[in-house]
Structure formats: C-alpha cells, structure tokens
Amino acid sequence: MLVSVSERYSGPLPSAQELDGYDRTLPGAADRVIAMAEREQHHRHGVEKDLVKKEFTLQERGQRIALGVLILLLALIAYIASTGAADAAAWLGGVTIVGVILAFTAPKLAASLSAGPRTQVPPERGEPEQPTLGSG
C-alpha cells in the first residue's frame, strides 16, 4: 500500500515544523527567518505608505492647477462678456462647463467600460434570489 501525503500553506513564513527543522539544523535560524520576514513587512509597509502619500500629493497638485485654470477661464469669460461679445463669452463658458463635467465623469465612465458587463450568477435550486443594489 502506497500512501502519499502533501501539505500546502501560504504565507511569508515556513510552517512551524519547518522552522523547528531549521533550528535543529542551525540553532537560531528560525529567529533569523522570522526577523527577515518582519523586516520585509516593515519595508513593504513603508513603500506602500510612501506610494499612497505621493499619489495623494499628485492628485492634490492636479486639482489645484485645474482650479487655477478654471479661475483664469472664468476671468477671461467675464472680460470677453464685458467687451460686448456675449456670444463668444457664452460659447467659451459652455465649453468650459462641458470640460469640467467631462473631467469628473470621463474617468468613471472609462473605468466602467473597461470593467465590462456585469453578469449575475443564478442562485442554486431552492435558494432565494438575493436582491442587488444599483444597476451597474
């Protein structure tokens, strides 16, 4: 009779049995492996924190620049309107409004289009269908 046993685990550290084996082979090795995993986790958390901070700073800078451009456009529209060219001011104001709306809605629209259509898995026999929120 042939018996096959396999073990699987997932994580940053070996199993307790393997750590014990490392320690029997080289005393202190288990502590070194655990310390290495802790250093790696600390490093990864620091990198992620820096990345989030830089992304926030970049978004904030973009919003400030966009606000400055919008204020300049509104000032230009007001100047054009004060010179008597109301049609040109109205046209430029309309284009500005459409641009601002697109700036806020286009990323969401692009994300929803790239995600593809949502499909709903039918419930198993005898299970009531679960209500869903929203349509997309």
Q: What is the pLDDT of residues 19-34, one digit of tens each?
A: 999 999 999 999 999 9
DSSP string across 35-53: HHHHHHHHHHHHHHHHHHH
Alpha-carbon dihedral sign for residues 40, 46, 48, 50:
negative
- pLDDT at site 136: 45
In angstroms, the CA 109 to CA 101 distance is 12
Q: Which of 47-56, 67-76, 78-87 has the highest mean pLDDT?
A: 47-56
In angstroms, the CA 77 to CA 95 distance is 11
Asked if pLDDT for residue 42 goes beyond 80, the answer is yes
DSSP string across 75-98: HHHHHHHHTT-HHHHHHHHHHHHH
Q: Could you tell me the residue ranges of all domains in the chain? A: 16-114
Q: pTM value? A: 0.52
User: Which two three-digit tokens encode residue 43?
Assistant: 């490093």
- pLDDT at site 118: 61
Short-list 23, 24, 47, CA closest to 33 = 23
For residues 122-130, give the mean pLDDT.
Answer: 55
